[in-house]
Each structure stands twice: as C-alpha cells, then as structure tokens.
Amino acid sequence: MARSFSIKSAFLSKKNISPNERLIFALDVPDEQEARGLVEILGDSVNFYKIGLELFMSGSYFNLINWLSFEKQKKIFADLKFFDVPQTVSSAIKQLHGKGITFTTVHGNDAILESAVKEKGDLKILAVTILTSLDQRDIEDLGFKVNIKQLVLSRARRALEIGCDGVISSGLEAPELRKSLGDKFLIVTPGIRPITNKASDDQKRTVDVEQAFINGADYIVVGRPIKKAKDPRLAAEAIQEKILALFKQT
C-alpha cells in the first residue's frame, strides 16, 4: 500500500503522462529469449521498457525492440549512453529513427549533446548527469572538486540549453533541478530501491518509489527490485499501485 504524504510536493509531476507508463522496467538480462520470457510474465503490469548495453551486446537488440514496440505495443527506452566524437554520435542517433523508440541517453560534453539533438527527430534525448552508482567520494576521485548536487545541476542546465528533452538524475538531486530549472523538461530517475534495501547493491544514491516522484521525477527506472522478486509481476503491480495512488492526489 502506498504511503500517505500529508504535504503535497510542489515538484510532483503535472505532465500529461499516463500513470501506468511512469514505471520503466530495466530489462537487464543476457539474451533475447530471457527478455521475451520476462516480458510475457510481466504482461500489462509494465508498459515501458529500458533496454541497455547487456542486451545490445547479445546481438539481438533490434529484434527485441521490434517485437516489443510493434507486436507488444510497449514503449522503449534505448539506454545506450552514447559517448563518442560528435559525428559518430550524430550518425548513431540517426540509426534509431523509425524503430519505435521513445527515449535514448547521451553522455558527454556540449558538442556531443548538440550532435545528438541535431539528429533526434522524434526521439527524446536524455542527458546523463551523474550515474547513481557514484557518490561524492567517487566524483572527487574522478577529479571533480565540487559538490555532487552542483555538478548535476550544472550538467542539466547545459543539456537543457542545448535542447535535450530531459535528464537522467538521482531522486536526491531532482528537487534542486526542479527548483532551479523548472518543470519544462523530463527527469527520469534510476536507482529506485525499497526503504529496507538501500545498501544491498552497487547503487549508492537511491530513493524509494514515492520519494522519487515527490522529489520531481516524471518517470522511474526499476530493475532488480522487480526482476529478483519471487513474483516479478506482483512486484511490478505493487509499484504501479503506489504510483496510481500518488498521482490520484493531484
């Protein structure tokens, strides 16, 4: 059952997004057969799928996308985090046209983001800010002598000025993004973990389902809490119930 929040957040998304599409399931499995099996198990409990590098390396990435998009009528988030010289990124983005993909991710400097935006067509480009597997110490080890929230805000501001449609951001930084940059862009939040399971894997900057939306997320990405559940469909349905209860308050 969803928790009750006595004070509505000013950052709760008001965008015209169906509540049952705000959950994006991270389809992180090694091959197409396992992916299809999991999609069949989840059924109508999930309507939006993130497909990343693990399946990309399986050799059947676009077969799966075609099946999901055109046969199963699911939305697709191609999470490939394009990071290369601008011309290569531009050419790669063009290869995603016409494949039924809604979101894709780009990770890089202004020139890389500009090259992606130039060729996006109907795609929505999401700029990666800071991976949720990194914390302040990791950022300092990489040479960034700045508070992680300031770095996320700086990267998000530049991405939006360039023309990206939104950002990938931890729920911890989402409130500052909304406060400083408004609500005219998408925030997609990974690193979603139950309150009782926040420190059990490689994700360091996590929030739970409801807090992510209260903090300003438009979508959440959930993988292991669903995939590793005894009953994945039941786990997905429980998350969908929390989302529906939260957005019924608006």
**Mean of the per-residue pLDDT values for the chain?**
89
Binned at pLDDT 50, 70 and 90, residue 9 comes out as confident
Alpha carbon dihedral 32, 34, 35, 36, in 10-degree steps, equals: 90
Whether 215 contacts 209, CB under 8 Å: no
pLDDT of residue 191: 85
* Tens of pLDDT, residues 48-69: 999 999 999 999 999 999 999 9
pTM for this entry: 0.89
CATH code at 19-248: 3.20.20.70
Q: Does 144 have pLDDT greater than 70?
A: no
pLDDT of residue 132: 58
For the chain, what are the domain ranges? 19-248
**Distances, alpha carbon 38 to alpha carbons 31, 49, 68, 85, in Å:** 11, 11, 12, 35
Q: Mark whether 81 is an active-site residue.
A: yes
With a pLDDT cut of 90, the percent of the chain lying above it is 76
Using the Cα atoms of residue 188, residue 205, residue 51 and residue 113 in order, give the sign of their dihedral. Answer: positive
* Tens of pLDDT, residues 86-133: 999 999 999 999 999 999 999 989 999 999 999 999 999 999 987 655
* Tens of pLDDT, residues 158-193: 999 999 999 999 898 999 999 999 999 999 999 897
pLDDT of residue 207: 87
With a pLDDT cut of 70, the percent of the chain lying above it is 84
Indicate which residue of 72, 81, 118, 149 is catalytic. Answer: 81
pLDDT of residue 110: 95
Alpha helices, H only, the chain: 32-42, 53-56, 61-66, 86-94, 110-118, 136-141, 148-162, 174-181, 209-214, 224-227, 232-248
